[in-house]
Amino acid sequence: MTSSDPIANLATLIRCPSVTPAEGGALTALAAMLEPLGFTVERMIASEPGMPDIENLYARIGTEGPHLMFAGHTDVVPVGDEAAWTHAPFGAEIAGGEMFGRGAVDMKGGIACFVAAVARHIERHGPPKGSISFLITGDEEGPAVNGTVKLLEWAAARGERWDACLVGEPTNPDRLGDMIKIGRRGSVSGAITVHGVQGHAAYPHLADNAVRGVIALTDALMHPPFDAGTENFQPSNLEVTTIDIGNPATNVVPGKASASFNIRFNDTWTAETVMAEIVRRLDAAARDGKLRPGRAPVRYDIKWAERPSHVFLTRNNQLISSLSGAVEAVTGLAPKLSTTGGTSDARFIKDYCPVVEFGLVGQTMHMVDERVAVADLETLTVIYETFIARWFGDAVA
Ligand SMILES: [Zn+2]
């Protein structure tokens, strides 16, 4: 039984209902594909007080370098309105040239194709001239606490070292071959609370309206732009995500207001410098008297969300060119090297080795009727196989 058919691999994985945090049989199924190919498969269970245990998988073939890691996740988001699916979300049914199922593109499809690519590479060339490993978590769509971060730490503590990593998340907006991700913006979230003085709307001099303070502060966060973008990144952007006052009375001046925000920032900044810039803007706005003439500065405090996501850009030309060259050789499209979109587990992997991302077309991810064109599975498998050959060819040259 060979796992060189990505369609069969994906059907097997989709039929495992691995909604985070459930393993759902998906890692067991993956292990059953990898072991016959010669991989040593290990299951690592990560725990955290107050959270469900998460099963993860690490598999490696080869003992020498260079060492190529493929990273991804078998967990999937919930199906949502199951009655709205035209095909069962864990059925892997094929209709109209598409395979339906939760995880079809995000990202059991990417795993299915990479397994098939490795199987074909081994069939054609024997074991890789180096090592290939799978670093697969069951906690990417959830809190991501017991997933890739701990799996990397666990593997590194056992002496595992990698030269490059490919993450198989869906990166293509419209067509297979559109886009490779070579970095990601950083992300920081925070919440400010403005402390005023509650009072009577007819006696405002006795009160200090927190609305005036929160508007002054959020205005300063939204303008002017943080930067104009850089060579590889779009401009940084901050969005105020909520303003909460909760005052039901028209004759009461509210004494407290809060607001939350999130900034996606480029390589003009680090998490630390962008946070310092935010505080500088807030302090300046607090002293500005436009909305509160003659008053003392706005009293506010700020709370940062835990764990900012750091910005990164991969500059490893050998990795990028073996992947983009493979994409172009197979699809005829020169993929855009992009840093757009949300964060991914690549932000953790970049601390261990250069990382790029390429997978399926992402249009239906997380949606009802998530599905993948069956033809794309074969194409992605050929791209991955070409990439593997090129990367090892280049790496040992
Ligand atoms: Zn994903």
**Of 238, 225, 205, 208, which is closest to residue 300 (Cα–Cα)?**
208
366 assigned binding-site residue:
yes
The Å distance, Cα 73 to ligand 1 centre, comes to 7
141 assigned binding-site residue:
yes
The Å distance, Cα 367 to ligand 1 centre, comes to 13
Rounded CA separation 397/393 (Å): 6
- Supply the DSSP string of 342-393, one letter for each residue: S--THHHHTTTS-EEE--SB-TTTTSTT-EEEHHHHHHHHHHHHHHHHHHHH
The Å distance, Cα 129 to ligand 1 centre, comes to 29
pLDDT computed for residue 397 by the predictor:
37
One digit per residue, the tens of pLDDT, for the chain of length 397 reads 589 999 999 999 999 999 999 999 999 999 999 999 999 999 999 999 999 999 999 999 999 999 999 999 999 999 999 999 999 999 999 999 999 999 999 999 999 999 999 999 999 999 999 999 999 999 999 888 899 999 999 999 999 999 999 999 999 999 999 999 999 999 999 999 999 999 999 999 999 999 999 999 999 999 999 999 999 999 999 999 999 999 999 999 999 999 999 999 999 999 999 999 999 999 999 999 899 999 999 999 999 998 899 999 999 999 999 999 999 999 999 999 999 988 889 999 999 999 999 999 999 999 999 999 999 999 999 999 999 999 998 554 3
| CATH number at 6-184+311-395 | 3.40.630.10
* Residue 369 falls in the annotated catalytic set: no
pLDDT computed for residue 379 by the predictor:
98
Catalytic residue among 140, 357, 370, 376: 140
Listed in order, the ranges of the chain carrying CATH 3.30.70.360 are 190-304
Rounded CA separation 340/362 (Å): 13
The Å distance, Cα 358 to ligand 1 centre, comes to 11
Q: pTM for the whole thing? A: 0.89
Listed in order, the ranges of the chain carrying CATH 3.40.630.10 are 6-184+311-395
* Residue 140 falls in the annotated catalytic set: yes
The Å distance, Cα 107 to ligand 1 centre, comes to 5
The answer to whether the CB of 379 falls within 8 A of the CB of 176 is: yes
Catalytic residue among 75, 267, 277, 385: 75
The Å distance, Cα 342 to ligand 1 centre, comes to 11
73 assigned binding-site residue:
yes
67 assigned binding-site residue:
no
160 assigned binding-site residue:
no
pLDDT computed for residue 343 by the predictor:
83
Q: Say yes or no: domain 190-304 is CATH 3.30.70.360.
A: yes
